[in-house]
Structure 1
Amino acid sequence: MFPYPSGMLHMGHVRVYTISDTLQRFRRMNGYNVLHPMGWDAFGLPAENAAIERGIHPATWTTKNIAAMKETMSRLQLEFDWSREIATCDPSYYRWTQYIFLELYKAGLAYRKEAVVNWDPVDQTVLANEQVDHEGKSWRSGALVERKKLKQWFFKDLLKDIDRLDHWPERVKQMQRHWIGKSVGAEFDFPVHAKGPNQPTLTVFTSRPDTLFGVQYLVVSPEHAILNKETLPADHADKVLDFVSSLKMKQNMEKAEETKQGVFTGLYASHPLTQEKIPVFVAPYVISEYGTGAVMGVPAHDKRDWEFCRVNDIANEIKFVVEPALQELDRPFSTTEPFTAQGVLTALSGPFAGMKSKQAGKAILKQAQQLGLGRPATQFRLKDWLLSRQRYWGAPIPMVHCPKCDIVPVPQEELPVLLPLDVEFSGKGASPLTTSKEWLQCTCPKCKGPATRETDTMDTFVDSSWYFMRFTDANNLDLPFSAEKASGRLPVDIYIGGVEHAILHLLYSRFLSKFMLEKGFYSETPDTKPGHGEPFNVLLTQVSWVYPRHPKMIETGETPLISYEKMSKSKYNGVDPVSVIEAQGVDATRLHMLYKAPPSEVLEWDDSSIVGMQRWLGKVLKLASTAGTAKTEAAEISVDSLSSLEKDMYRTTHETIKQVTEALSTSYTFNTAISDLIKLTNYITSSDLAPHAPVYQHAVRSLVTMMAPMAPTVSEECWETVSGQDSTSVFVQPWPKWEAKALEKDTIDCMIQVNGKTRFRVVVPVDIAGDATEIEKQARAMAEGQKWLGDRPIRRAIVAKGGKLVNFVI
């Protein structure tokens, strides 16, 4: 995942890019044609805020930061294909972002509507739900977020094929499933009794149509169109509208939601089947963008409805319209808590009494359909993608507003719509683009009359949802990328980055990738294993990580031994990689990042433990100098001609090759790969073999080669020593291959148990492994055998684990 150019890499970046650099070096050494590009997610609020605070243009700020971060990447020995470098703020890139927007608009997937949004009053822009913390504050400015109605641009149709993601972490797929939230059920219409000639109807969605006779109230969202002075009864209007106004602050909304607070609107609706009068409430737990903005309250069969009913004192008697089947009752049926399972309908459900829930749901829906007051429906919690941002530093939305023609797309041949330079950065009021009058005024492409440009810019997630496709053909001047080149490369084989992007970025990337496949931007071939437009074959996510700090305990004033805090640019607590590299060395830093924890676990930053990696590197350097230049190639070594000591060395080397290869190919457990290499180092160091022995030199060369992707500089130094001054780079060497024959053992370690308790170990030839009689003979010949077995007869011998364990019952 490409970084935002904030001006410095922090150790979180180092972790991601060390992982990717290790994998790409490993794959190259295995003969793969690797594309390992780099670019910059260069649009966004931080650069614009810097312009406001420092009086520097965002473009200047961004360019300066990119240069600084590239320098750090170079010092980390990160090997990228810089010929494909992109920056999303470059017109040569965002021209194609605008092009893709217009393609979505033509397909009916980009549209504009009025919607309730999260509004940051400090940064003066819309925020996604994930950019608002649990206290209702903006993730960046810290301001209390407001709820505001604005006309915004959206993309729609984000749902497809999550279950096809075989090589994605299950928790990421679950996060996307939860975000999408698919529910199958029915919609019912409740006609509302309201003043005025137009009688509105409230349509509600439910996944439990069998509970329709249990509806005791309806609840609408605070933004529902029915909440106005013309519709609300005069004696309730002020109270209702004051309550709705108080929910403008997201903090107040969440508080009301937590306490289950609601207000009666004074309105009543008719039940679609019984015509009973149903009171209508307003409460913040109903979301305007989800479903119809209205829900039915069935307190007997929903925990949230039960609590809302009790808190707001809605009904004296709760109507249980479903009860457990008699054979399922293990205790008397209680009406002191909601019954949320399916069951059998009670007499309160009229003609449907006695039916099971599933059967009754279908029958109730059928009757409502016959009356024109119901229909089958599927709902998704997922809102369409709100992409408008009221700021300057983003890709301009290529639309114009004409008083005659309404909204008109900019012709593709006029792209890019460039960001103007003459704007004012105040951080207050409307988008800075409105201050550039020359840019704002334009000609309508349709009627050629006067028009104005769209002043919203696109969310930076639009830029990052297709950039990996541009990498396949980064310098194309005629198209976003060549279909032929993209089809030969896509999908991305492995995508590495933070798990915090599991929803927004990864969901949007899947949406755009599928759309572009359908529109023929690229195609799937047998070589790329068709995946229905999924952008990433393997997803390797890392969790947030922390660094130690030493705060005072509030109550005692004491300083704890250690505590940890998430490392973050916004917290200004990131560790500077340059200072770590200068103090510890680049390879030790890289190894520490990979060894400290696997990507799926939290990494607690503590640079004091880097010393272990430094010591290991020192050992390898010493081994390389001791081994000297090899006289014998590995292919010339014959296992059958080796001595017992040499066979052990050769076997240990090939076991390590097998384990490290698997760790870097499939499990991505870099910590175990390093651990295995350290064990091999220690084995070689303690060996009694002479350094000039071919198997010794083969072990050292294999060690240096396998270490190279993770520790490139020391490995190059070692390789020069073991292969001669005129040798080529270690990275053009083939990755060592393990031999099945080399893994074969002449002997086996057999654990001896006596009456089920482990007592001692005996080394036996492989050809008698599992032969209890032969093992008994060897065991009795040992001092430990005499101690635990003596001359006592064996009543029974139990052989387990392929002969690696024998239990003698005496």
Structure 2
Amino acid sequence: MAERYPFHAVEKKWRRRWEEEDLYAVPDFEDKPKYYCLEMFPYPSGKLHMGHVRNYAIGDVVARFKRMQGYSVLHPMGWDAFGLPAENAAIKHGIHPHDWTWQNISFMREQLKQLGFSYDWHREIATCHPDYYRWTQWLFLQFFHRGLAYRKKAPVNWCPSCATVLANEQVVGGVCERCKTPVVPRELEQWFLRITAYAERLLQDLDKLTGWPEKVKVMQRNWIGKSEGALINFPVVGREEGITVFTTRPDTLYGVTYLVLAPEHPLVMELAAEGRREEVSRFVERARLLPALSRTAGEQEKEGLFLGAFCRHPLTGEDLPIYVANYVLMEYGTGAVMGVPAHDQRDFEFARKFGLPIKVVIQPPGAELDPDTMTAAYVDEGVLVNSGPFDGKPNLQAMEEIVAYLEEKGLGKRQVTYRLRDWLISRQRYWGAPIPIVYCDRCGIVPVPEEQLPVLLPYNVAFKPTGESPLKDCPEFVNTTCPRCGAPARRETDTMDTFICSSWYYFRYTSPKEDKAPWDKTKVDYWLPVDQYIGGVEHAILHLLYSRFFTKFLYDIGLVSCDEPFTNLLTQGMVLKDGAKMSKSKGNIVSPEEIIEHYGADTTRLFILFAAPPERDLEWSDEGVEGCARFLNRVWRLVRSLIPVVQGAGEPAESLSPPNRELRRLTHRTIERVTRDIEEFGLNTAVSAIMEFTNGLARYCEEVRPEERDPGTLREAVETLILLLAPFAPYMAEELWEQLGKKESVHRQSWPTYDPKLTVADQVEVVIQINGKVRGRVMVAATATPAEMEEAARREPRIKQLLAGKEVRKVITVPGKLVNFVVG
């Protein structure tokens, strides 16, 4: 039986050796160019899945490649360790979130080491460790002192049965996932970060991010949602205060026939007529339970109620009915929308359903709309009609004039709004960073002094079956003294959104043991920004947007010297099996540890990198894994068979025979291809090039007699194969490198370089066609002229026979590729 790669023994040997030599530790400063390679850190759920393996394998290839290119590479790993799953585990299994989390971290760390990822474990962080969340709390205070962290009432999901607040992910189909009780909205005082103060910069600076995928930038632009338009005041009949509406279409103002308020709008219940309040209240409760996305979806049925109140059109003086409707969101504009059914499709559907008037104010070129026969809203350009002094003007041109007229009359003003809303960071649960605030009856809201940080999470708490945060019922945590006056005070029992923890972790990696500040600024300025960030596209909006916000704030207060955290971004695709994302519920999970046990870490890594381009989804294939295992076994046998020949061999000879010259060309051409492919994230094609190189080397060994082989050329090919394979299959490459007699790790070698002159072929294969059909092939010099190509083609015996007695009307040549004879 052919010798097989003994991966169990090799992996065990080199894992121990790498740890003993501290191979991947990186100094804080080196006399080399720096490169910060970072994959999004995982939540310690207990086991790595194949999505993790793919993310980290991609990053590891880049980190190893850059080290070999002469960079000082920062490649750290840590744990996004706070969050709801740990708390759910405490309730379900009776295990404390602290214990559950650290057990999982220990298990997942071992898995990452088993896969051979080149992390500097000296820099490991966990966001649930007091040494980390002390600085999370410190950063919160920096926002607070500058007016960017504030408290206000906001709606939450409330379960009456559990008597607790639920996160959005705990509400399934409008009911509590734990007890199935219908969830109701409730107003609570909550903490926010004023991300809207940075909306314009976050939007404009997307143009700086030339190394980001355009689709991610589009998603962020849409999330920020800049809209330019006007604020218009509609006086409410019988009240002094009016309703302010934001619109991006002031040109349609004369077409307003009703006003609509979001269910969350504070005036809804105030404006509801006496006999309608109960019905309106029920409607509001029902509408608020619907997800925002479904409320605004085009196919969602438009529902609403007349409040029994009217407002006055600011320009015509007409009385307009006021409705509450499910398709209006409080998060957009002012939470009030002017209904223009002739020129907005949602308004059109609502008006048709409730029998509201439709008034055309824009006529399309060469046509005339009739409101009684319209089947859809007209939303394109045209000429204004029924618009008072603006009749006859192109609607887009009239926009500015109408806004100027409103400003002149004091009825409205120009306004820029954003879809982006301030970041709600309060979480009514235990396993998170405590918010460093106390409440004093004398002093009000008081920040915890920085020297008293961290505010520690207590360990001895009681997890109730309801799942309500244990902090509320933990007197030793809640009861404290006011830092200002010394009177009895109460701690804030909300903890922070875990996105806070992940919005600054990449700074902490530069100085994870620093205890006087969240980081050493000289180290942050050396390493940041991150040169390459890698993670799932599902984080394209929130995590990446929050990280950009944090970085800009920290730049403004002088703590960092960059205002964007990530120079280049790669969003890798998902790992699928049987056409679906791997999940326990679908029963299509493939366990990394099972594959590692059966095939080894190198095969696992190689398949996940070879099976698809990084940015696309990858379909799992057992046959593909087996194929990668066969390839590595072939490399193992081939290289080991050549070691006695190439050990001690010198440089390639200056004058080489054609087979040796061709092997040398293949070596340098493969270096060129693999280098370019890794730099362009074509990792699958890089592996393919290495496979083709292996086949070429094996073919050379089969076809060229030992006495005709040039030892220097063969040595160069074998060493190159190992060096190119090192980022992809680090264990095998290390073992083969040592067996070659090398004393220093393969991962400390320089990346091979190629000579462009040696990548050009001496000869090329030319296809011969007759009337467009392939009839043969011939080898010619790579520099052959069209005439020389034709002559070589005519000399081929089969072609000579096929052309005999025929008139050649035309000869078409494509240099280095094709000769086509057109015959009568």
AA aligned to 2:759 is L
Q: Post-superposition shift, 1:101? A: 0.8
Partner residue of 2:340 out of 294, 298, 301: 298
| Pairing 1:684–2:697 present | yes
Structure 2 match to 1:664: 678
Change (3 A) 1:144 1:240: closer
Q: Post-superposition shift, 1:179? A: 1.5
AA aligned to 2:489 is A
Partner residue of 1:477 out of 515, 518, 523: 515
Find the aligned partners of 2:804 and 2:419 in 1 and give their Cα distance.
Answer: 73
Change (3 A) 1:708 1:757: same
Give 5+ residue unaligned stretches, structure 2: 1-39
Partner residue of 1:319 out of 339, 343, 359: 359
Partner residue of 2:459 out of 417, 421, 426: 421
Structure 2 match to 1:557: none
Structure 1 match to 2:422: 384
Structure 2 match to 1:246: 286
Three-state SS of the structure 1 residue aligned to 2:535 is: strand
RMSD (Å), alpha carbons: 2.7
Q: Post-superposition shift, 1:787? A: 4.2
Find the aligned partners of 1:250 and 1:696 in 2 and give their Cα distance.
Answer: 69
Q: Post-superposition shift, 1:330? A: 12
Find the aligned partners of 1:717 and 1:651 in 2 and give their Cα distance.
Answer: 26
Change (3 A) 1:320 1:378: same
Change (3 A) 1:262 1:509: same
Three-state SS of the structure 2 residue aligned to 1:42 is: coil
Cα offsets for 1:67-103 (capped at 9, x unmatched): 1111111211122111111110111101111111111
Structure 1 match to 2:393: 355
Determine if contact 1:124/1:427 at 8 Å carries over to the other structure.
no
Cα offsets for 1:132-178 (capped at 9, x unmatched): 89955789999866433222111123531122221112221122122
| Pairing 1:541–2:571 present | yes
Structure 1 match to 2:796: 782
AA aligned to 1:219 is V
| Pairing 1:716–2:734 present | yes
Find the aligned partners of 2:135 and 2:52 in 1 and give their Cα distance.
Answer: 27
| Pairing 1:192–2:236 present | yes
Cα offsets for 1:246-303 (capped at 9, x unmatched): 2343379947971111111111111111111111111122111221011111111111
Cα offsets for 1:453-490 (capped at 9, x unmatched): 11110000000010001001111101111111101100
Change (3 A) 1:780 1:78: same
AA aligned to 1:607 is D
Partner residue of 2:749 out of 733, 739, 759: 733
Determine if contact 1:145/1:250 at 8 Å carries over to the other structure.
no
Three-state SS of the structure 2 residue aligned to 1:445 is: coil
Partner residue of 1:621 out of 630, 633, 636: 636
AA aligned to 1:654 is H
Determine if contact 2:521/2:560 at 8 Å carries over to the other structure.
yes
| Pairing 1:262–2:304 present | yes
TM-score, normalising length: structure 1:
0.90
Aligned length: 769
Partner residue of 2:272 out of 232, 236, 245: 232
Q: Which has the higher contact order (CA 8 A, sep 6+)?
A: 2
Change (3 A) 1:138 1:285: farther
Determine if contact 2:306/2:324 at 8 Å carries over to the other structure.
yes
Q: Post-superposition shift, 1:796? A: 3.7
Determine if contact 2:448/2:483 at 8 Å carries over to the other structure.
yes
Determine if contact 2:440/2:488 at 8 Å carries over to the other structure.
yes
Q: Post-superposition shift, 1:412? A: 1.4
Find the aligned partners of 1:283 and 1:227 in 2 and give their Cα distance.
Answer: 10
Q: Post-superposition shift, 1:572? A: 8.2
Change (3 A) 1:332 1:190: closer
Structure 2 match to 1:559: none
Structure 2 match to 1:553: none
Structure 1 match to 2:783: 767
Give 5+ residue unaligned stretches, structure 1: 525-532, 548-562
Change (3 A) 1:251 1:539: closer
Partner residue of 2:504 out of 466, 491, 504: 466
Structure 2 match to 1:367: 405
Structure 1 match to 2:4: none
Find the aligned partners of 1:798 and 1:719 in 2 and give their Cα distance.
Answer: 50
Structure 1 match to 2:721: 703
Three-state SS of the structure 1 residue aligned to 2:376 is: coil
Change (3 A) 1:574 1:397: farther
Find the aligned partners of 2:580 and 2:49 in 1 and give their Cα distance.
Answer: 14
Structure 2 match to 1:223: 264
Find the aligned partners of 1:804 and 1:238 in 2 and give their Cα distance.
Answer: 82
Structure 1 match to 2:592: 577
Structure 2 match to 1:748: 764
Structure 2 match to 1:595: 610
Determine if contact 1:145/1:251 at 8 Å carries over to the other structure.
no
Structure 2 match to 1:52: 91
Find the aligned partners of 2:370 and 2:435 in 1 and give their Cα distance.
Answer: 63
Partner residue of 2:59 out of 8, 11, 20: 20
Q: Post-superposition shift, 1:636? A: 2.4
Q: Post-superposition shift, 1:394? A: 0.3
Structure 2 match to 1:558: none
Alignment of 1:505-520 (within 5 A): 505-520=543-558
AA aligned to 2:457 is L
Cα offsets for 1:413-451 (capped at 9, x unmatched): 211111122322125375321111122122222333222
AA aligned to 1:750 is V
Partner residue of 1:444 out of 451, 464, 482: 482
Farther off after superposition, 686-695 or 205-214: 686-695
